[in-house]
Amino acid sequence: MQEKILNTATEMFLYYGFKSVTMDDIADKLGISKKTIYAHYSTKNKLVQATGSHLLQTISEGIDEVRAKNLNPVIENFEIKRFVNQHLKGEKTSPHFQLKKYYPKIFNKLIEEQFNVLEDCVGENISRGIELGYYRKQINVPFVCRIHFVGMMGIKDKEMFPLEEFSEQDLTEEFLNYHLRAICTQKGIKTLEEYLSNEK
């Protein structure tokens, strides 16, 4: 039952937002009493924290699966983006914004964990890309990892990038294109342009 609660809560929080969904909503969706949820998660805060960790673990495992395919480093970025977008739905409610605003302690802890995942993933991708000639040799890898993370977090800011003007799908695509053109060699840019052309 605990796993069922966790999966349902994660789905609802992502779709409707962390603030908007109540424990009653989750209980109704599962067809159980609220007491049953509280038997596993004594407060909503604990459930929010558990769902955040659960989602991060799911995404981290999915990223590892993509990385295990040993794809071209340029294309690997898009495959990871595709996987992550499939698991982060709530474009209209901006769960990222709600989590930051209403659960700042949980948000900050998850951001730290998320950075560790991304630093490892992006760092390895860049190192491999340099070795294979797709990325420039003179790249400062720790700097690019951090600027990549800051950029990915920045495009989630709905005041800077309002949904009326920018969809999350378009933003991640644009940012990734921007990021890769900054670090690619001519060989890498050729791969990037071929990939984008085939995707149209």
Does some domain include residue 39? no
* pLDDT value of position 163: 83
* pLDDT value of position 37: 97
Does some domain include residue 153? yes
What domain range is 105 assigned to?
53-199
In this predicted structure, which of 119-128, 138-147, 149-158 has the lowest mean pLDDT?
149-158
Question: pTM to 2 decimals?
Answer: 0.88
* Averaged pLDDT of the chain: 93
Q: Rounded to an integer, what distance in angstroms lies between the CA atom of residue 71 and that of residue 67?
A: 7
Does some domain include residue 151? yes
Q: Which residue did the predictor score with more confidence, 147 or 168?
A: 147
Does some domain include residue 189? yes
Cα distances (angstroms) measured from residue 76 to each of 108, 128, 158:
27, 11, 27
Does some domain include residue 106? yes
Does some domain include residue 38? no
Does some domain include residue 125? yes
pLDDT digits over 48-61, tens only? Answer: 999 999 999 999 99
pLDDT > 90 in the chain, percent:
80
Tokens, residue 100: 């930051």
Q: What is the pLDDT averaged over residues 145-174?
A: 90
Does some domain include residue 157? yes
- CATH of residue 109's domain is 1.10.357.10
Total structural domains within the chain: 1
Q: What is the pLDDT averaged over residues 30-45?
A: 97
Q: What is the pLDDT averaged over residues 108-136?
A: 96
